[in-house]
Amino acid sequence: MSTRGLYTFKASTNYEMDWNVYKHHDGYPNGAVVAIEDATNLAWELPRYESDEFSTAFIAANKAVPGGVRLMPQGRPLEVAEIHCGDIEYRYEISLKKNELYIKAFSVRGSGTFDLVDKLIFEGTLKALKERYPI
């Protein structure tokens, strides 16, 4: 069974938007490290970060099969996760803080389609996420 994840690329300016991207497999924290690191190879070099550009790099770096990675409706992440009948197991918020990628990781649980809750399990840099959840 796949571990599904929802990645929200947070806007860093007032003229940007947040972008939600669904990834069908490897959504656990070690898999998220790989997916985000792979995106850095296609994204602008930090500290340049724009949510739409980084989310596009994430999709390009991680889309290997049809349906494996796709854009999701924009909006509040848990509401977006409910579109997938509550089967999102992890979600991540990616942003830029002090010229580094900054990640918030959440485990997502629910007993039905429309009662999802999330619990913060990590907050820090991508480097710290990799140290906490080694590949």
pTM here? 0.89
Task: Write the pLDDT tens digit of every residue in 65-77.
Answer: 898 998 887 766 6
Residue 111 pLDDT: 52
**45, HSE (Cβ side, Cα atoms, 13 Å):** 0
pLDDT class of 4 with cuts at 50, 70, 90: confident
pLDDT at 86 (0 to 100): 59
Q: According to the model, what pLDDT value does residue 67 have?
A: 84
Closest by CA to 82, choosing from 108, 119, 121, 107, is 108
Strand order in the sheet with 69-71: 69-71, 19-23, 4-9, 88-97, 100-109, 117-125
pLDDT at 21: 94
Q: Left if phi > 0, otherwise alpha if psi is -120 to 50, otherwise beta: which for 13?
A: beta
Average pLDDT, the chain: 88
CA distance 88 to 110: 9
Indicate if the pLDDT at residue 48 is higher than 90: yes
